Chains A and B, each alone.
Chain A
Amino acid sequence: MSEQERPAVRCRELAYSFHRGRGKGPVVRAVDGVDLEVRPGEVFGLLGPNGAGKTTTIRAITTLLPTARGMVEVFGHDCAAGRTEVRRLLGYVPQALSADAGLTGRENVALFARVFDVARSERAERVAQALAAVDLTEAADRMAGTYSGGMVRRLELAQALVSAPRLLVLDEPTIGLDPIARAGVWERVDAVRRATGMTVLVTTHYMDEADRHCDRIALMDRGRIRALGTPEELKARVRAEDPAQDAPTLDDVFRHFSGRALADDAKEGEFSDVRRTRRTASRVG
């Protein structure tokens, strides 16, 4: 199989456990046997409530968590055996707002150009193109601390794009943003994806976004994938299995496959998950 034909991401029996409460509490299986294949060029959504295992799955794919050999591959490169090769293919936007407030937008992007070995001769131009791709050219020389939440997210996108990644990984990229800013972030993601053909792996709470922007989605709950397919396929399965649902939404799909509503997530999830989500939402808002 050529590199172009290999899955962008392949997880086989991905599992990860940790001790609740920094090693003192009981063992929690955050991810419990996830099998997943993301096709090159698609926008793949990982959906689920707090504590579903989405972020842990993303952390395994981005090499932040140790995995066994053969468990996770990115474009055929094993995340356990070839971490550096995998990282060269990744652009990553974590859930927390991670732009540095003490630097300008341009300096924030230039840092990532440097750590991805962009040659000095093309660094300024490449940084300018990344900023232009997310509509931040005019604000590029302002301190990132003066940016709005949506602009910070777009700046983080520029940081991820400057190395021409083949797989863009977005962990809750629109959490806490207002609808206009959410639309702005997605507009740039869609435009860049159309222009570059890169694969996008995104986690989100927002079912409407997943419905509109994702080619395929996986619904996660309590460490496992409960359903996987295109939004239309999943809705069709619900219609077939439950004739009372004649026009199901993705919320209905989640309820059908997990047995509970997505809105119940306020009661679920590790303390750290909920804290991270609320901290990001509060800083964005």
Chain B
Amino acid sequence: MSAAPVAPQAESAEHHGSGPELGLLLVPPRARTGWRVVPARVLAMCTVELQKLRHDRTELYTRAVQPALWLLIFGETFTRLKAIPTGGIPYLDYLAPGIIAQSAMFIAIFYGIMIIWERDSGVLTKLLVTPTPRAALVTGKAFAAGVKAVVQAAVVVLLAAVLGVGMTANPLRLLGVAVAVVLGSAFFSCLSMTIAGIVLTRDRLMGIGQAITMPLFFGSNALYPVDLMPGWLRAVSRANPLSYQVDALRGLLIGTPSHLGLDFGVLALSTAAGITAASALLGRLAR
């Protein structure tokens, strides 16, 4: 949830002086306990994210520009060049899942800026004073980033379909795509929130975000097969969760050979580690 600061207009008094019904405000709500807390908070954060997207879709459209350019310019050109061995499938088809993962990562990697903004605007402070464990708050934020990324991914999938990319229409496989996008975005948003908890300022986070985005992208299998990479870059790619996300998306959408069990396992473990790290550092932002 972002927290664009409220810029109030001139005061307009709005008082009626009548005594409103306050009955429910005298009774505290019954507290959820145990395992029910995290799903409830995740749902709350995701709902807010969808409400904000419903009110303002500008971000959705503007963020579609970059993946469109990658597919239209880079994809179309390299399809004609036939310079990258893709195992017999058109390069545009090979590229499309990589661009879906990239566009989701680009949104998530700057999620920490929203957290710092929420800290500055008081929203985060207020949420930290609710009966929400920090891990539940971070999980909620991470999955909210995932929901946003899924909406974004749907736009890129449609765009790729218009460009003639042959993708699956199997609902189960598409569900798998949504899960892979959510998990990848959850991890990268947690990475961003973790860095936010360390550097504490927007400017520093912007710098670090810019510095790591391209290495993560180029150090993955999003644009080319891992087999083409030099040995050291292959090692980087193996440690990069984006590679596992792309592998899963490619397998599910295009039907290329993939390792879905390993891919989802790595994404789930990375997300869990990200949530743990970001939760541990969240308190630093509130002090």
* A94–B130 CA distance with the chains assembled, in angstroms: 13
Which of these, B14, B24, B29, contacts A139 with CB under 8 Å?
B14
Tally of chain A residues near chain B (CB < 8 A): 76
Point out the residues of chain B lying under 8 angstroms from A107, CB to CB: 48, 51
Question: Would you call A204 an interface residue if the criterion is a C-beta within 8 Å of the partner chain's C-beta atoms?
Answer: no
Question: Would you call B168 an interface residue if the criterion is a C-beta within 8 Å of the partner chain's C-beta atoms?
Answer: no
B126 touches A178 (CB 8 A): no
B286 touches A117 (CB 8 A): no
B5 touches A177 (CB 8 A): no
Tally of chain B residues near chain A (CB < 8 A): 57
A164 touches B287 (CB 8 A): no
Which of these, A139, A145, A163, contacts B6 with CB under 8 Å?
A145
Which of these, B20, B47, B120, contacts A114 with CB under 8 Å?
B47
A148 touches B128 (CB 8 A): no
Say how far B120's CB is from chain A's closest CB, in angstroms. Answer: 7
Point out the residues of chain B lying under 8 angstroms from A187, CB to CB: 15
Question: Would you call B80 an interface residue if the criterion is a C-beta within 8 Å of the partner chain's C-beta atoms?
Answer: no
A135 touches B14 (CB 8 A): yes
Stretch of A39-47, A149-157, A217-225 with 4 or more beta carbons under 8 angstroms from chain B: A149-157
Question: Would you call A65 an interface residue if the criterion is a C-beta within 8 Å of the partner chain's C-beta atoms?
Answer: yes
B22 touches A112 (CB 8 A): no
Question: Would you call A284 an interface residue if the criterion is a C-beta within 8 Å of the partner chain's C-beta atoms?
Answer: yes
A129 touches B20 (CB 8 A): yes
B8 touches A148 (CB 8 A): yes
B131 touches A88 (CB 8 A): yes
Kindly identify, within residues 114 to 132 of chain B, every residue whose CB is under 8 Å from any CB belonging to chain A.
120-123, 125-132
Question: Would you call B62 an interface residue if the criterion is a C-beta within 8 Å of the partner chain's C-beta atoms?
Answer: no
Q: Which residue of A has the minimal Cβ distance to B29?
A: A118
Kindly identify, within residues 267 to 283 of chain A, every residue whose CB is under 8 Å from any CB belonging to chain B.
283
Question: Would you call B31 an interface residue if the criterion is a C-beta within 8 Å of the partner chain's C-beta atoms?
Answer: yes
* A162–B127 CA distance with the chains assembled, in angstroms: 14
Stretch of B37-45, B83-91, B177-185 with 4 or more beta carbons under 8 angstroms from chain A: B37-45
Enumerate chain B interface residues (CB-CB to A < 8 A): 1-16, 19-32, 40-41, 43-44, 47-48, 51-52, 55-56, 120-123, 125-133, 200, 283, 286-287
14 additional A-B residue pairs with CB within 8 Å, beyond A98-B121, A102-B4, A152-B8: A59-B287, A63-B128, A102-B52, A103-B48, A117-B31, A129-B23, A144-B6, A148-B9, A164-B25, A164-B28, A165-B28, A184-B13, A196-B22, A196-B25
4 A-B pairs closest in CB distance: A98-B122, A96-B122, A132-B20, A114-B44
